[in-house]
Amino acid sequence: MNAQAPTIAAAAEITDHLAGFLKAAGDPLRLQVLQVLGQSSFGVLELCDIMAMKQSGMSHHLKVLAQGGLVEKRREGNSIFYRRRLPQADSAEGALHGALLDELDDSELNSEVAARLEQVQNQRAEQSRAFFARHAEHLDEQQELIADYDQYAEQAAELLLRACPNGENALEIGPGDGQFLAELASHFQQVVGLDNAEAMLAVARQTVAKRSNVQLILGDWPATANTLATVDAVVLNMVLHHLPSPASAIRAAARQLNEGGTLLITDLCPHDQHWAHEACGDVWLGFEEADLVNWAGRAGLELQETQFLALRNGFQVQVRTFRKNGQ
């Protein structure tokens, strides 16, 4: 009898856990929240705007989702954001959790919710655009406090060329002052740089003035993705933490790639340097490896190679390449 007691207790714990998971997933509104969180992390007030409901109601639903293991909180500076919790392979509901997220990602979001989601993301994008328009001339001074170009450029180029040795065309999103565009122009026949701030493009234009195979375009990512030709390589160098929806940006990058193409991501590991929000226009305080790999995997990309660069001023840079495999 005593030998059976732990087994009975463990079985009861598993069923209670599954019940909490199923309760969290068993509500249409909460499923819509999970769909929305597949695009990005959001604060409570942003989710209230997206779902058109009061804060008390949204807080209740988020609490149920958190208790069921479907969402988790992360602090970014003085703000708290909610994001999807990744499926845990060793949990009782792991396979069910993964299947649920796959189904949600394959389903169309309610049109009204989608429209309000777009408004919130546009507000974030406008804040980012305004920051870079104001600080274009002095951005390098602030950026060097985090990770200057020389700290990551050589490793990023090495990983990209190893993953994509025969690529003909490349797209860099948010090219900053254009230094990496010049590097890309030495290895690819055609290179496009896309930025949402004309002031930043003006700086990049001076850097690549002698490069006839570089084209600079003004536009938001991923909003303008469908206007561009597909490429063999997409580059996100130290830009993902500035974008309103990193998961959407990666998903759009995957669509932009030719089969066998490479996505290069250079960005910060998670950190607690909250001043970067105001000083550098950072939206996110770095990224967990699991998040980047999960977002890329759901977009049909496979991790190829990773390098971590030396810690500096409390920041560590990660460089990753992902491959778009043929179906």
Cα–Cα distance measured from residue 285 to residue 246, given in angstroms and rounded to the nearest whole number: 12
Virtual torsion, Cα 275, 79, 86, 47, nearest 10 deg? -140
Q: Which burial class, exposed, middle or buried, applies to 82 when counting CB atoms under 10 A from its CB (0-12, 13-18, 19+)?
A: buried
Cα–Cα distance measured from residue 141 to residue 28, given in angstroms and rounded to the nearest whole number: 48
Residue pair 53/6 in contact by the 8 Å Cβ criterion:
no
Amino acid identity of residue 156, one-letter, is: A
Q: Which two tokens stand for residue 45?
A: 């007030």
pLDDT tens digits, one per residue of 118-132: 898 888 777 766 766
CB atoms within 10 A of CB 303: 15
Amino acid identity of residue 213, one-letter, is: N
In DSSP notation, 11-53 reads HHHHHHHHHHHHHHHS-HHHHHHHHHHTT--B-HHHHHHHHT-
Cα–Cα distance measured from residue 316 to residue 314, given in angstroms and rounded to the nearest whole number: 7
DSSP state of 203: H
DSSP state of 109: P
Please state the separation of Cα 138 from the chain's center in Å.
26
Check residue 327 and give its pLDDT: 47
Check residue 131 and give its pLDDT: 65
Cα–Cα distance measured from residue 242 to residue 223, given in angstroms and rounded to the nearest whole number: 15
pLDDT tens digits, one per residue of 84-116: 988 887 777 888 998 998 899 888 999 999 999
The strand pair at 214-218 and 231-237 is best described as unpaired
Check residue 126 and give its pLDDT: 78
Q: Which residues pair with 233 in a beta bridge?
A: 170, 262
Residue pair 180/245 in contact by the 8 Å Cβ criterion:
no
- Spell out the per-residue pLDDT of the chain, length 327, in tens: 455 555 766 666 778 878 989 999 999 999 999 999 988 889 999 999 999 999 999 999 999 999 999 999 988 767 788 989 888 877 778 889 989 988 998 889 999 999 999 898 888 777 766 766 665 555 555 566 667 888 899 999 999 999 999 999 999 999 999 999 999 999 999 999 999 889 889 999 999 999 999 999 999 898 888 899 999 999 999 999 988 889 889 999 999 999 999 999 999 998 887 767 666 777 888 999 989 998 999 899 999 999 998 777 778 999 999 999 864
Q: Which burial class, exposed, middle or buried, applies to 20 when counting CB atoms under 10 A from its CB (0-12, 13-18, 19+)?
A: middle
DSSP state of 70: S
Residue pair 273/302 in contact by the 8 Å Cβ criterion:
no
Residue pair 92/18 in contact by the 8 Å Cβ criterion:
yes
If you search the block for the tokens 């499926």, which residue do you land on?
87
Largest CA distance in the chain: 82
3-state secondary structure of 170: strand
Cα–Cα distance measured from residue 261 to residue 258, given in angstroms and rounded to the nearest whole number: 5
Q: Which two tokens stand for residue 57?
A: 């109601």
Q: Which two tokens stand for residue 189?
A: 């026949």
Residue pair 31/67 in contact by the 8 Å Cβ criterion:
no
